[in-house]
Chain A
C-alpha cells in the first residue's frame, strides 16, 4: 500500500504538542506520526507511550558468543594439543581469563553495533520528508499515512499554527489556498 508523508514544522514545543493532539483527535494513531527534533525531549511529552526496545539483548548475546569463542580457542587448543609441563594443570587459567574477557568484550561490542543499526534503523536508506530547520530548533511532526488521509493530516497539522507544511509534492502552506 502506498504511504504518503506530510511534515508540519513548528517553532515551539507548545504548538508541536498541540499538533500531535490535533492529529490524535483527527483519528491518527501514534504509530502514524513521528516527532522530529534537535534534542531529546522527555518520554511522554507528545503523549507517546514508552516503547519496548530490545537493545540490551544484543550485547548480552554478543558477550555470550564472545565468551564461548574465547573459551573454545583457549580451552580447545590446550585440550587438542595436551602438553603437560612440570606436572602443572593442563588448562592454564590466568591467560585464559584474559583472552576470554577480550572475546566477551569484542562480542558485546560488535553485537551492540549491530543492535544499534537494527533498532534505530540506521543508516536510513529510504527517503523521509525532512527540513534542515529541524536542526535549528524547529520541531517537525512527520505523518506517514494512506493517500486518502493526507488531506485530513494537513488539516489537523494546520490547526496548531505551523510554520510550514511540506508534502512529497512540495510546500502546501500553513493556510488552505483560497479558491
Chain B
C-alpha cells in the first residue's frame, strides 16, 4: 500500500482528494470544450506540415535517392521523432509495470504520442531507397538478402502497428465516454473505435492485462528498432566507426528524450489544459528523478564509447573522433553534451528544484533541444559519406568531410515534420479526454483517508 501524508499544510496530491464524479466531470468538460483554443495551433501545424512535405518534394525527392546528403534533414526529422514521440509510450509501459499510483494521470500524456508514429514510418519508407544494399559494405546485416530495406521496414511496421494498438486499447474506455457523451462530430470515430465496449467485468480484466502486454511488446520492439536504426543510419554510414556501445547510447538517450517529452506535455496540460488537479508536484518530481538518472546514463554511455576511441588513437579512431566530437561537429557536440548531461545534472541535482514543477519542465525543454542537436550532429556526419566511401567493405574514413550546413528547405522539412506530429496529437485530443477516467477513477476506488495522530494519511491499495 502506498501512503501520502498530510499535516501542517504540507501539499497533498489534489487528485486523491477528488471524488470519482469530479474526474468524470473534468473529462466531460475536456471533450465538450474543444474549439477555437485548439483550432489555431492545429491550423498552424497543418500549414507547417504541408510546407515540410512540399520541401521534401521540391528538394531531396527532386534530386533523387542517389544523393543521400540531400536527405539529411529528412533523416534528422525521422530520428528525432523516433527518439521523442516514439519513446514516450515506452515510458508509460515502464510506469504501468512498476505499478505506481502517481503515474495514473501521466499515462495518457505519454501514450498519446503513439498516434504520431505514422509520420516517422512514412519518412522511413522515403529514406530506405537512399541506402545502398549491404552486400559490399559493413553493416549489421552481413549482406543478408534484401537488407536493410525489407527487414528494416518490417521492424518499423511492427513498431508502428504495436504503437497504434497500444494507443487504441489503452484509450478504449475513454473513447466510450466520447461515444456516449461527445458531440455528433466526435461520436462517429469514437463509436467505431470503441464498438462493443460496455465496461463489463470481463472486459476490464482483459483491458488491464492487454494494455500491459501490448505495452511490453512495444518496448520489446522499440529497443531493437532503435538498435537497427543506430546501426543503419549512423554506424554503417561512417567508415571506421566500429562500436558496440553506440546502439545502447542511441536507445538510452531516446528514452531520456521520451521522458522529457512527457514532462513538457504534462506542463502544457497543466498550464493550458486545466489539468492542475491531476498533474501536480508529485508527478513532476518523480519524472524529474527519472530524467536526472537518464541524463547520467547519457554521460555513462557516451564516455564508455569515447574512452575506447581516445585510448586507441589509431588513425581510424582519430578520424572518427575528429568528425563526431573534436573538429567537424565540435559545437553541436559541445551543445549536446551541455544540454543532455551537464545542465540537467547541474540543475536537477538540487532537491528544491527537482521537487518543483518548473525545474523538471525547464530541464525537459533543454533536453528536447539537446537531443535534436545530437541527432543533427550524428545524422549530418553519417549522411555526408557517398556510397563510394562505403563500398568495398571500407574500414576507414580517409578524409574528414566538412560540416553540413542546413538550407532553408532542410529547416522547413524538420519544422514541418515536427509540426505534423504535434498536429496529430492535437487532433487526437478531440477523442481522448484528459485525465484518463479509467486510470484515475480506478485509482480513487483504491483510496482511503486515515487519521494518524495529528496527521491525515491517504492510503492507496495495491490489489494483487
Contacts and interface: CB of A to CB of B under 8 A. Distances in A.
Given A94-B140, A108-B217, A136-B181, A34 B441 contact: no
A29 interface: no
A36 B176 CA distance: 13
A37 B204 CA distance: 9
| Interface footprint category on A | 35 or more
Interface in B125-140: 140
Nearest to B24: A137
A128 B202 CA distance: 14
Interface string A14-46: 000000000000000000001111111111001
Contacts of A108: 217
A35 B206 CA distance: 14
Nearest to A33: B201
B24 A34 contact: no
Nearest to B195: A123
B224 A122 contact: no
Contacts of B207: 40, 120
B209 A135 contact: no
A98 B141 contact: yes
B224 A98 contact: yes
B446 interface: yes
Contacts, number: 149
B86 to A, nearest CB: 15
Nearest to A116: B210
B439 to A, nearest CB: 8
B183 to A, nearest CB: 14
B206 A116 contact: yes
B215 to A, nearest CB: 11
A101 B220 CA distance: 10
A99 interface: yes
Interface stretch (B113-121, B150-158, B371-379): B150-158
B213 interface: yes
Main secondary structure of the interface of B (DSSP, over half): helix
A64 interface: no
Interface string A49-86: 00101010001000000000000000001000000000
Nearest to A139: B199
B10 interface: no
B177 interface: yes
A142 interface: yes
Given A39-B437, A99-B151, A122 B158 contact: no
Interface string B404-441: 00000000000000000000000000000000011111
A42 B158 contact: no
Contacts of B195: 122-124
Contacts of A92: 142, 144
B214 interface: yes
A43 B155 CA distance: 37
B205 interface: yes
B386 interface: no
B197 interface: yes
A36 B165 CA distance: 24
Nearest to A105: B221
A123 B177 CA distance: 17
A130 B197 CA distance: 10
A13 B20 CA distance: 11
Contact of A38 (B24, B179, B196, B206): B24
Contacts of B20: 39, 137
Interface string B197-238: 111111111111110011001001100100010000000000
16 contacts: A34-B200, A39-B440, A40-B438, A42-B446, A43-B205, A77-B145, A98-B228, A101-B224, A105-B220, A105-B221, A105-B224, A106-B158, A109-B165, A124-B196, A134-B180, A135-B173
Interface of A: 13, 34-43, 46, 48, 51, 53, 55, 59, 77, 92, 94-95, 98-99, 101-102, 105-106, 108-109, 112-113, 116, 119-125, 128, 130, 132, 134-137, 140, 142
Given A55-B210, A98-B151, 11 more contacts: A36-B198, A37-B204, A39-B20, A42-B461, A48-B201, A102-B154, A108-B217, A120-B207, A120-B210, A137-B24, A137-B441
